[in-house]
Structure 1
Amino acid sequence: MRDYFGENPKFGERFFRYRYRMSQRLFLKIVADIEASFPYFRDGVDARGRRSFSPIQKCTSAIKLLSTGEPADNYDDYLCMAERTSREGLEYFCDAVIYLYKREYLRKPTSHDVALLYNAHEARHHLPGMLSSLDCTHVVWRNCPRGMKGQYTRGDHKVPTIMIEAVASQDLWIWHSFFGPPGSNNDINVSVAVWSTFVKAYPHLVDPKEVKFKRVQEAARKDVEQAFGVLKGKWKILERPIRIMDKEKIGKVVDTCCILHNMIIKDDGRAISPVHIMDPPVPVAYDPRVLRELHDENVHHRVRYDLTEHVSTVDLAYLDDPAAQPPPIEDLI
């Protein structure tokens, strides 16, 4: 408390943001919301008359474990918290963040979000109708059970890994995340499926228009790659070999990191769609023609051809001049 939360703290806002990965205002809001909804984080007294750890202590321990990826007993000398309590606090913290914030900060794009994303991506990448970018990354699973190692190991990774697949927009906001074994079929396998909504790169470049389109597409594809870089750089538990043995708990950690990542983007004022405006409820309607069109390979090639023709008519000086840069995202929001 003397270091960060007192009247004249030892460390200022800059050090707080560096060590907690977020502003003090956002951290205290999270602590207050969790304390109001979960009795585990409230002050209490045990049968011996000893006070429990404060909400700030428990949330600090969880944030430290997420941001460093170090063992649970690493902060015993600073927070005076045992290893078991730190692990337990991290699990409760992940449950609380998912319960309180997942509906808003790891939501599917609403019609309001889609309209803003279309406008921002067309202005930034010159690709009309672009919603976001899709890619995957791997997290090393250090304590993978022996009976599951074969399922989570593949040729290009010699150790068990968990694949995280995410959809991210230009502001690095993560709109969807999925984790599972490498090559899992539980989600859409874009490398195999030819869907009209996924615009894949040309395998063999022949026309100069195709070369230009591929360069534009590579620039747009860096959105999700940068999102992974920021996510792993901020939450080192995803960058280092993860020690958790339970798959369900690992999934909660991944969701928590993605939610906190999006909360920080909104708190910093960098979100393309910062306000969650829900769509009005509508009756469910199923049209089999839509699914056939999504799986139609001809539609996929026609969409890619139309985008290629559109990009060929746009003057993109920054593609040929390394010194020229596209407009900053602040000018597009």
Structure 2
Amino acid sequence: MSDVQANNSWFQEGVDGRMKKSFTPMQKVTSAITQLATGNLPNENDEYLNMAKRTSRSQNDINVLQQSPLFLTQRNRTEPKCPFYVNNHLYKRGYYLADGIYPTWSVFVKSIQYPQIVKEKKFQRQHDAARKDVERAFGVLKEKCGVLNRSMCAMSVKKIRNVLYVCIIMHNMILKDDENTITQVHIRDPPVEHVFDDTVYNELIDEDTHYRLKYDLVEHLGEQDLPHLLADSDDK
């Protein structure tokens, strides 16, 4: 409890706008954990926690991808460095697997809707399989944290993001407590000074890099001996 209060002043006991004593740290922590576990709204905890109703409202701040903070670390030059080679070409940063609705940016790799040749079919199957792995992992998290199964009632994207981070951290804490963690090694990137570089945006949205990366991945995967990607196919 003391660690929670030390890291977030909201959980500390104080006074409200009427100069009356606020909720106790135990009430606040219990309410927060209950919301994460069950997905219930804050006012559904009032009865047994003796807490006043609090009105929450949902707000979708991200209507277009350009407004998203997803690539903020790239634009201020603080992202982890992860260059890689594929098909003898160097790429400066990683990428996200995405479906067809996403733009043709250098950081998105989309599947092939209508593959025609063997290597395209292999790429499509591997792409779909990798995306399903991510979806299954998130599904496990949703089973453990009910708050992720319903519409978010946070007031900002930052709060929604923090809720997700807390769920992931709690899940990892449970794995560690049960001795089911994959690794105990924690490697932190050295601190980097924030330097906003607007030219990075042009690199992120570069269509030429998007198509070249996709082509290189198709070629690379086509050279690999992965017969399971051609299962139930006429192109074995």
TM-score by length of 1: 0.46
Q: Quote the residue 2:104 is aligned against.
A: 194
Q: Secondary structure at the match of 1:199?
A: strand
Which of 58, 65, 82 matches 2:28?
58
Q: Quote the residue 2:163 is aligned against.
A: 257
Q: Quote the residue 2:94 is aligned against.
A: 131
1:42–1:54 contact (8 Å) kept in structure 2: yes
Cα deviation code 1:247-306 (max 9, x no counterpart): x61535422222113323554345798443244337665658x82794334x43332222
1:114 corresponds to 2:55: no
Alpha-carbon RMSD = 4.5
> Which amino acid is 2:139 matched to?
G
Q: Secondary structure at the match of 2:82?
A: helix
User: Hey, what's the Cα distance between the residues in 1 that align with 2:171 and 2:73?
Assistant: 17
> Which amino acid is 2:113 matched to?
P
1:70 corresponds to 2:40: yes
1:133–1:221 contact (8 Å) kept in structure 2: no
Q: Quote the residue 1:82 is aligned against.
A: 51
Q: Quote the residue 1:219 is aligned against.
A: 129
Which of 297, 300, 307 matches 2:217?
307
Deviant stretches of 4+, over 6 Å? none
Cα deviation code 1:90-147 (max 9, x no counterpart): 99xxxxxxxxxxxxxxx948565637xx79xx9xxxxx968353569xxxxxxxxxxx
Which of 173, 189, 197 matches 1:277?
189
User: Hey, what's the Cα distance between the residues in 2 that align with 1:282 and 1:250?
Assistant: 23
How far apart are residue 212 of structure 1 and its match?
0.6
1:266–1:274 contact (8 Å) kept in structure 2: no
Which of 191, 204, 207 matches 1:296?
207
User: Hey, what's the Cα distance between the residues in 1 that align with 2:22 and 2:199?
Assistant: 56
1:231–1:258 contact (8 Å) kept in structure 2: no
User: Hey, what's the Cα distance between the residues in 2 that align with 1:276 and 1:68?
Assistant: 32
Cα deviation code 1:193-235 (max 9, x no counterpart): 2223322212221101110111111122224423442343333
> Which amino acid is 1:304 matched to?
K
Larger RCO (alpha carbons 8 Å, 6+ apart): 2
**Unaligned residue ranges in structure 2 (runs of 5+):** 58-71
1:209–1:308 contact (8 Å) kept in structure 2: yes
> Which amino acid is 1:114 matched to?
C
> Which amino acid is 2:96 matched to?
S
Which of 28, 33, 46 matches 2:3?
33
User: Hey, what's the Cα distance between the residues in 1 that align with 2:164 and 2:24?
Assistant: 25
User: Hey, what's the Cα distance between the residues in 2 that align with 1:40 and 1:112?
Assistant: 31
1:215–1:319 contact (8 Å) kept in structure 2: yes
Q: Could you tell me the percent identity over the aligned residues?
A: 30
> Which amino acid is 1:68 matched to?
T
2:122–2:221 contact (8 Å) kept in structure 1: yes
**Unaligned residue ranges in structure 1 (runs of 5+):** 1-30, 92-106, 123-127, 137-189, 323-333
Q: Quote the residue 1:210 is aligned against.
A: 120
Q: Quote the residue 1:140 is aligned against.
A: none
1:196–1:293 contact (8 Å) kept in structure 2: yes
1:196–1:295 contact (8 Å) kept in structure 2: yes
> Which amino acid is 2:82 matched to?
V
TM-score by length of 2: 0.62
Q: Secondary structure at the match of 1:114?
A: coil
How many residue pairs match? The answer is 203
Q: Secondary structure at the match of 1:195?
A: coil
2:11–2:25 contact (8 Å) kept in structure 1: yes
Q: Quote the residue 1:176 is aligned against.
A: none
